[in-house]
Chains A and B, each alone.
Chain A
Amino acid sequence: MASQDNFAKIIRDPNLSSKQKSNYLALEAEASLTYLSISPELTQAKSTGVICDMFEGHAPFKPRYVLPDYAKLLQNGSTYLELSAAQDLDEALNALTIIYHHVPSVTSIPVYLGQLDEVLLPYCQGLDEESIYRKIKLFWIMLDRTLPDAFMHVNIGPTDNIVCRTILRVDAELKQIAPNLTFMYDPSVTPDELLQLAANNICECSKPHIANYPIHANSYDDRGFGIVSCYNSLPLAGGANTLVRLNLKEVALTAHSISDFFDNILPKYCRLTFELIEARSKFLHEESNFFNSFLVKEGLIEESRFAPMFGIYGMAEAVNILQGTPEFSEDNIDKPSSHYGHNTAANELGHKISKALDAIVKSTPVTYGYNGRALLHSQGGISIDKEVTPGVRIPYGTEPNPIAHIQALAEHHQYYTSGISDILTIDETIKSNPQAMMQLCKGALSLGFREFTANVASNDLVRVTGYMIKLSDIATFKQAGSRTNTTSLGFDAAANTRILERQPRVIAHEQSPSYAAD
């Protein structure tokens, strides 16, 4: 039996830790169950790669992303975890350390660690700067060593406060892949000097991402939101029950014309995407018993604040196919181009597709959604994606200069409520000029970017979609494995895609938790 062979391979793998082996074995077990009941048409779309369930498992028993209200935990304590309300910073950090191990997600460990400056600030009264620094530094080291996964994500900002500044200081100093970090920027609240600190950090270690706080905040209610994993913006005290993604390249290949694409083909595949969303979220909410957990009972999450993410990718290929544009080649790279990302008509067709998707997602009810709806998402790709570009991004190696790049894509950002990412790779000369990084960031946010993300060429710590890897880890992975779960994903990405080639680029790759046998 194939799966038994796989079990044996996992167990004997010389480079996996025991914990990594247990995780892979569990995934294999889940994948051995019969798939949820879906229509033949959807089964066909799944098997041909038009629609993808992100390998979340055949019988989902945990939501994809969970965003507990950690401030509430610290205020109230937890009966289930036998914790009383936190009285000081030590108790707060201790309580968080404990609860993180009880927050599941698609990766099996938490993808959201909280809006940590806001959560911790009330417990820092009376502490001097150095004490706060020492405690947070130890906490940071603990996170990287015990929750070894660069999808777990901390949020800070937009206010200027001692915890926010300390986290930036510690993060730049330690240069760890984990946790991932988003800095919220609100031009009416955040001082330039603090944004500059964050921009300095990007030059130093490619972190944090800078989020456009007003745009995200306006997308959700007063209870708030968080940025989790890589670039997923979701309701606080809720999360994403599932993420199903649609490959726009494959959709475009089956259309006879642009009007056929908009009138028939796109609506048809959106219907099938919603069928899979319904099947997966129904199982999770109605059969898995996840929503009987203490997280719900103690009010740290609410079932009604979970929404499915409607993901798309391959926009660049879809537009080029629909317009009959020939493949990009080295010869036409600097010429006036008809390609997506370079040509006004191509870019506008892309915007039109995003607008059409937005209209469909906003008008299609789902049983388990945020206000009864799914949330549109520009999906960052996974390691199996070949010859197809993540989300609405411009294909790697063909990007125009950073400003033209931002101008080509800004229009899309309004539509992707649950996250969109365009990673700009910046020449390393910017390292000695972080002010330029800050200005580029401000320019992007002022044009409507939801999130500004930049990789600086030559840093060892680089971004692969939203999570971080160290190039030096990749180099030794094949021989020695890695303490960190995400290194294997980065390694696959390096092997399957052109991430480490040509000008420093970034590859798309979110999460494919399955075990690659060879």
Chain B
Amino acid sequence: MSRVATVNQIIPFSCVDGPGSRLVIFLQGCNFNCKNCHNPYTIDMCNSCGDCVATCPVNALSLTSSKEGKSKIVWDSDLCTQCDICLSTCPKQSSPKTRQYSVPQILELIRAQVHFINGITISGGEATLQLPFIIELFQAIKASQDLMHLSCMIDSNGYLSEGGWLQVMPYLDGVMIDLKSWQQETHNYITGRDNHRVFSSLKLLAKHGKLYEIRLLHIPHVSDFDSEIDAVASYLTRLPANVRIKLNAFQHHGVTGESLNWPICSEEQMLELAARLTERGVANLVLPNVYL
């Protein structure tokens, strides 16, 4: 019996989630609760409360119950117009528009376009919350003659335990980790969690040569990369030289709540942060193409 994952979305062709062109699977569910999350509807699992059903203008959602009397939301994607009213109705940062995929189903999707991609990336939500599925999928890819050339990557918040990383390590080509801020308090303020485990993950992955990219989201006056520039730079220069340091500029696209009052990061602010890091010897910086 194959494992099943709860998937929020699959993008067949992405250029921003690892090296080359990638099929990206966004899993539902996250253990951070970032104020600035730009897809907050991926944070929680749907509990089938049914609130969204009545607000759907095209009746694409319905509430059914199983033989055991357990209620369940059913989403009819043929009727759905993607108006996303359900997402704004949902009281708990979830989406009724998720799907269950087994490993063989994902393999079939990959095979349909294997000529177009360099690899696959599991993202989220927080990908590693469904780690057993990821392990089984990556194992299957690495064991298939026609798929083994594809690189298998994870896009993560870095909160997975060391034991978790070690389980997936044999089938893993690389990881992109978000570092949300430098100071403990700031990290706590933004995400609701501390960042000790993020640093442990970074260290472990770097040691095993699996840290592809570390991502720093610059939120002027909120995140603290600029005020802690010396410490941040000194940390980054000690990472292996091939690790990409990707700077992201905070924008309002997709965010909700109080973070809409936070200032966005302009191109000038981004360039200034990059220049200050460069001055301090940080190489392999990747800057945004677009500020939208």
Interface residues of A (CB under 8 A from B): 331-332, 334-336, 401-404, 406-407, 426-433, 435-440, 442-444, 446-447, 458
With contacts A429-B290, A431-B289 taken as known, whether A436 is within 8 angstroms of B115 at the C-beta atoms is no
Chain A nearest CB, measured from B38 CB (Å)? 15
Residue contacts A-B, CB under 8 angstroms, 21 given: A335-B81, A336-B77, A402-B116, A403-B12, A404-B12, A406-B116, A407-B113, A427-B15, A429-B289, A432-B15, A433-B20, A435-B20, A435-B118, A436-B15, A436-B20, A436-B22, A437-B21, A439-B118, A440-B13, A443-B115, A443-B117
The answer to whether B16 and A433 touch across the interface, beta carbons within 8 angstroms, is: yes
Q: Which residues of A contact B118 (CB under 8 A)?
A: 435-436, 439
The answer to whether B81 and A402 touch across the interface, beta carbons within 8 angstroms, is: no
Q: Which residues of A contact B13 (CB under 8 A)?
A: 401-403, 436, 440
The answer to whether B81 and A331 touch across the interface, beta carbons within 8 angstroms, is: yes
CB nearest neighbor in A for B246: A432
Interface secondary structure of A, over-half rule? helix
Give Cα distance in the complex from A433 to B22, angstroms: 11
Give Cα distance in the complex from A428 to B290, angstroms: 8
The answer to whether B78 and A439 touch across the interface, beta carbons within 8 angstroms, is: no
Give Cα distance in the complex from A431 to B81, angstroms: 31
Chain B nearest CB, measured from A346 CB (Å)? 17
Q: Which residues of B contact A429 (CB under 8 A)?
A: 15-16, 289-290
CB-contact partner of A432 in B11, B22, B77, B289, under 8 A: B289
Give Cα distance in the complex from A430 to B21, angstroms: 9
Interface residue B106 (Cβ < 8 Å from any Cβ of A): no
The answer to whether A428 and B289 touch across the interface, beta carbons within 8 angstroms, is: yes
Q: Which residues of B contact A433 (CB under 8 A)?
A: 15-16, 19-21
CB nearest neighbor in B for A404: B12
Interface residue B271 (Cβ < 8 Å from any Cβ of A): no
Q: Which residues of B contact A401 (CB under 8 A)?
A: 11-13
A-B contact count (CB 8 A): 71
Most B CB within 10 A of own CB, among A331, A439, A443: A439
Q: Which residues of A contact B22 (CB under 8 A)?
A: 436
Q: Which residues of A contact B19 (CB under 8 A)?
A: 433, 435
CB nearest neighbor in B for A400: B12
CB-contact partner of B20 in A334, A407, A439, under 8 A: A439
The answer to whether B21 and A436 touch across the interface, beta carbons within 8 angstroms, is: yes
The answer to whether B115 and A442 touch across the interface, beta carbons within 8 angstroms, is: yes
The answer to whether A446 and B115 touch across the interface, beta carbons within 8 angstroms, is: yes
Q: Which residues of B contact A443 (CB under 8 A)?
A: 113, 115-117
Q: Which residues of A contact B115 (CB under 8 A)?
A: 442-443, 446-447
The answer to whether A439 and B21 touch across the interface, beta carbons within 8 angstroms, is: yes
The answer to whether A440 and B21 touch across the interface, beta carbons within 8 angstroms, is: yes
Interface residue B82 (Cβ < 8 Å from any Cβ of A): yes
A-B pairs with lowest CB-CB distance, top 10: A443-B116, A436-B21, A443-B115, A435-B20, A436-B15, A433-B15, A430-B15, A439-B21, A429-B16, A446-B115
Q: Which residues of B contact A432 (CB under 8 A)?
A: 15, 286, 289
Give Cα distance in the complex from A444 to B113, angstroms: 10
Q: Which residues of A contact B290 (CB under 8 A)?
A: 428-429, 458
Chain A nearest CB, measured from B149 CB (Å)? 11
CB nearest neighbor in A for B290: A428
Q: Which residues of B contact A444 (CB under 8 A)?
A: 116
Q: Which residues of B contact A437 (CB under 8 A)?
A: 15, 21
Q: Which residues of A contact B78 (CB under 8 A)?
A: 335-336
Chain A nearest CB, measured from B9 CB (Å)? 12
Give Cα distance in the complex from A429 to B20, angstroms: 11
Most A CB within 10 A of own CB, among B21, B80, B81: B21
Chain B nearest CB, measured from A443 CB (Å)? 3
Known: A332-B81, A427-B15. 15 other contacts (CB 8 A): A334-B81, A335-B78, A335-B80, A401-B11, A404-B12, A407-B113, A430-B15, A431-B289, A433-B15, A433-B20, A435-B118, A440-B116, A443-B113, A443-B116, A444-B116
Chain B nearest CB, measured from A153 CB (Å)? 27
Give Cα distance in the complex from A432 to B289, angstroms: 7
For B1-35 the 0/1 string (1 means CB < 8 A from A) is 00000000001110110011110000000000000
Give Cα distance in the complex from A428 to B288, angstroms: 11
Q: Which residues of A contact B15 (CB under 8 A)?
A: 426-427, 429-430, 432-433, 436-437
CB nearest neighbor in A for B20: A435
Q: Which residues of A contact B81 (CB under 8 A)?
A: 331-332, 334-335
Q: Which residues of A contact B16 (CB under 8 A)?
A: 429, 433
Q: Which residues of B contact A404 (CB under 8 A)?
A: 12
Q: Which residues of B contact A403 (CB under 8 A)?
A: 12-13, 113, 116
The answer to whether A435 and B286 touch across the interface, beta carbons within 8 angstroms, is: no
Could you tell me which residues of chain B, from 248 to 292, have a CB within 8 Å of some CB in chain A? 286, 289-290
